[in-house]
């Protein structure tokens, strides 16, 4: 099994120093063991949610892999720890890397979260892109807390499908809480990828590549959904930058 990847402390959250290749290798290795696992694609939003929620921070720090999903997170790994990462490991793209690997290695995939329309659209599109990919089940979100009986049924359905990978699209940080809650109940690796469901279903546009490279994806998404995302970006982003600068200065002075 592939070894664990080194993590960098970013405002108290351990973020993995990984590439698409190393992340895919580690996740596939965990999946083949079928002993469970937790993975999330970490953007600024998740790190800032952890600042006001110590329990969430503790849970995220127990994940097997926390990829630098956003450019500002990748930059922080390079600034704070000299990670030398040339690209981020973006949830929607990591999803495709994992589907390609799952197709090659005959790993079974389950899709959990989002709406019925989105999850079915994602399954259909992935099936066209990866004809030999085994998508063994889907379960849309109920958009409310599941009852104990419903949760038990979900676990039985996922386990019964023989899934090696469960892509979780419940939104941050609900999806990370869900994965942590099920860490000892599912033998599949849970991969929290959020908006990847909408992107791969074709219901949400991605930022142009140049905006993604420049770390301006947040601006593209904010312009599309200002009422929903204003707090995430206009409140969290300046606080994140201030916190990373303070951490860097503290490291330099010590």
Q: What are the tens digits of pLDDT across the range 104-153?
A: 999 999 999 999 999 999 999 999 999 999 999 999 999 999 999 999 99
Distance from C-alpha of 151 to C-alpha of 89, rounded to nearest angstrom: 30
In a domain, 148, yes or no: yes
Q: Domain of residue 120: give its range.
A: 8-201
In a domain, 118, yes or no: yes
Mean pLDDT over the full length of the chain: 93
In a domain, 242, yes or no: no
In a domain, 22, yes or no: yes
Mean pLDDT of 2-20: 93
Cβ contact 102:129 at 8 Å: no
| Omega prior to 19 cis, within 30 of 0 | no
In a domain, 103, yes or no: yes
HEC per residue, 200-216: HHCCCCCCCHHHHHCCC
Cβ contact 85:68 at 8 Å: yes
Q: How many CB atoms lie within 10 A of CB 250?
A: 9
Q: Half-sphere exposure of 101 toward its Cβ, with a 13 Å CA cutoff? A: 21
Cβ contact 29:102 at 8 Å: no
The b-or-e profile of 19-37 (16+ CB within 10 A means b, else e) is bbebbbbbbbebbeebebb
pTM of the entire structure?
0.92
In a domain, 254, yes or no: no
In a domain, 208, yes or no: no
* Residue spans of beta strands (DSSP E) within 120-246: 134-139, 165-169, 189-192
In a domain, 120, yes or no: yes
Structural domains in the chain (count): 1
Mean pLDDT of 2-30: 94
Q: Which pLDDT band holds residue 2 (cuts at 50, 70, 90)?
A: low
Cβ contact 189:1 at 8 Å: no
Domain of 127, CATH number, reads 3.40.50
């Amino acid at each position: 099994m592939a070894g664990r990847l080194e993590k960098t402390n970013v405002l108290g959250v351990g973020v993995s120093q990984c590439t698409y290749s190393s992340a895919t290798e580690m996740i596939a290795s965990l999946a083949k063991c079928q002993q469970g696992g937790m993975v999330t694609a970490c953007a600024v939003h998740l790190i800032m949610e952890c600042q006001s929620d110590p329990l969430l921070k503790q849970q995220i720090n127990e994940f097997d892999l926390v990829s630098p999903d956003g450019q500002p997170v990748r930059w922080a790994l390079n600034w704070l720890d000299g990670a030398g990462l040339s690209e981020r490991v973006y949830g929607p793209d990591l999803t495709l890397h994992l589907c390609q690997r799952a197709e090659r290695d005959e790993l079974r995939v389950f899709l959990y979260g989002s709406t019925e329309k989105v999850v079915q659209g994602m399954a259909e599109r992935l099936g066209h892109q990866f004809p030999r990919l085994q998508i063994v089940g889907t379960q849309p979100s109920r958009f409310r807390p599941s009852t104990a009986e419903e949760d038990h049924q979900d676990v039985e359905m996922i386990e019964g499908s023989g899934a090696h990978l469960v892509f979780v699209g419940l939104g941050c940080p609900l999806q990370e809480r869900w994965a942590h809650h099920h860490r000892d109940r599912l033998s599949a690796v849970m991969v929290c990828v959020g908006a990847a469901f909408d992107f791969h279903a074709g219901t949400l546009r991605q930022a142009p590549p140049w905006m993604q490279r420049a770390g301006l994806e947040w601006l593209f998404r904010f312009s599309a959904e200002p009422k929903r995302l204003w707090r995430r970006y206009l409140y969290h982003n300046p606080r994140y930058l201030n916190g990373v600068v303070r951490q860097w200065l503290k490291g330099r002075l010590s």
